[in-house]
Chain A
Amino acid sequence: MRQFQTSTLEQRKTFDTDFETHPLEVAWASEAIFFVDVEQLDEGSGSLHLKVQISVDGVNWLDEGTIFEPIRVKERAFRRVSHFGGWLRLKGELLESGSLYKATIHLVIKE
């Protein structure tokens, strides 16, 4: 049987500034999907930008190349990732000050 884990990296957490998700070790896995469930809590026009990052040691991070479409209002989305080494996380960026988003972010990994 193939190993499997779904991890809730961030749970109904509100963000008013740039953020990174809880780093997850994924060395045993070969494929992953980030699921995001996001709701904008402010009335502004600032969007949330999410991108996948990888790391050699869980401390120093580089963009992996996979990005989400800019998110506004309310959105559920996913991105598939593979060949990622030992760690995965999402980097979230709010381009306008005053933005406020609530997000639940899952990482689903499989051997």
Chain B
Amino acid sequence: MLDYRLDKFQPLKHILCFDDFDNGLCGWTNLMPNYTLDNFGVRDSIVEKTQWGPIMLSSGTFRFSGTHGSMDGIYSLKLATRPVANPYQEPPAPGSISHAIKRLTMHRKPNRLQFEMWYAYTTEQDRSGLSENDIRAFGVSFDMQDAKARNFVGVRYVNSVNGELKKEWQVMQANDVSDNDWAYGTDGDWCKRGVDPMWYGRRYPDGRADGYQFVPDSRQELCYNESDDKINWLYLRLTYDLHERRYVELQSRDKVFDLGQFQPTDVPPYARIEGLLNPVIWIENDSDRRIFLFVDSVVISVD
């Protein structure tokens, strides 16, 4: 019998994860820094990473409409920022991002690797009006490492830059900058160029960023809807060729973008994480109110 829950995806031959959040958190957790210093301290960084908004299981309930539920049930994974944001060109404010991660390792030598999800996004309906401009960006990526390199492979939808709607897709590929530049001009930050482009890499007022390249002709209307309490479930697929170390394509809603011209940035391997394969999802705030990314379900697959 056809499983309609899986039929709305296009998985590669081997499914690694099929996470329907009606079944719980499915191993997705909050991203935190490494608590390895005295008194469980973390290393100094220009980006404060202990305050990101905690994730949760959501019923999608709003003030007047009541419970939205998820795409085929009640619960979705909800990423919720805190009600804070810095200007786009500054390091993200503590709490202005919510970030979910699942920690896996590679169990076979794949050719291609694929991330799919059905999701929706909106702002907290804490004031009147329509608030689409308050959502800065959201995205998905893999944080992975083999014997040769650590790579961040991902895409983000840049929705709004300092309140101005942009609505374009970007792909993770770092500009040729120094580690100092990557950490917003600070020396000795833990991070290396190419690592954690979710929040590292300078950003510029026109939407460009040192961690990303714009996908050509990628301005796309998503279905934000006409009110902050109406959410529509959207499809996203990112396919990456691990063998060729090259992006393949991005599908958003019914539109497919060729990413063949892009490559992720190689970073010398970090200690103790060989074989790392962490899918991640995040959303970033552009204003002083909470914003939410709801994820109905995720499929990670390889061939």
Task: Determine whether B82 belongs to the interface, using a CB cutoff of 8 Å to chain A.
Answer: yes
Interface size class of B (residues with CB under 8 A): 20 to 34
Task: Determine whether B56 belongs to the interface, using a CB cutoff of 8 Å to chain A.
Answer: yes
Decide if A7 touches B51 in the complex (CB within 8 Å): no
Asked, given contacts A5-B56, A86-B59, whether A22 binds B30 with beta carbons under 8 Å apart, the answer is: no
Residue in contact with B54 in the complex, picked from A8, A26, A56, A57, CB distance below 8 Å? A8
Q: Mark A1-23, 1 if CB is under 8 A from B, else 0.
A: 00101011101110000000011
A95 to chain B, nearest CB (A): 24
| B56 cross-chain contacts in A, Cβ below 8 A | 5, 7, 24-26
Task: Determine whether B111 belongs to the interface, using a CB cutoff of 8 Å to chain A.
Answer: no
Decide if B24 touches A3 in the complex (CB within 8 Å): yes
Decide if B82 touches A22 in the complex (CB within 8 Å): yes
Task: Determine whether A27 belongs to the interface, using a CB cutoff of 8 Å to chain B.
Answer: yes
Task: Determine whether A59 belongs to the interface, using a CB cutoff of 8 Å to chain B.
Answer: yes
Number of A-B contacts (CB under 8 A): 54
| B290 cross-chain contacts in A, Cβ below 8 A | 23
Residue in contact with B30 in the complex, picked from A8, A56, A86, CB distance below 8 Å? A8
Decide if B61 touches A11 in the complex (CB within 8 Å): no
Task: Determine whether A44 belongs to the interface, using a CB cutoff of 8 Å to chain B.
Answer: no
Task: Determine whether A82 belongs to the interface, using a CB cutoff of 8 Å to chain B.
Answer: no
Task: Determine whether B186 belongs to the interface, using a CB cutoff of 8 Å to chain A.
Answer: no
Task: Determine whether A28 belongs to the interface, using a CB cutoff of 8 Å to chain B.
Answer: yes
Name A's interface SS: loop
Q: How many residues of A contact B (CB 8 A)?
A: 21
Residue in contact with A59 in the complex, picked from B51, B80, B124, CB distance below 8 Å? B124
A6 to chain B, nearest CB (A): 10
Asked, given contacts A5-B25, A13-B51, A57-B62, whether A25 binds B57 with beta carbons under 8 Å apart, the answer is: yes
Asked, given contacts A27-B61, A86-B61, whether A59 binds B125 with beta carbons under 8 Å apart, the answer is: yes
The 15 sampled A-B contact pairs (Cβ below 8 Å) are A5-B57, A8-B54, A11-B51, A22-B53, A22-B54, A25-B56, A25-B57, A26-B56, A27-B59, A28-B59, A28-B75, A56-B63, A57-B62, A57-B125, A86-B61
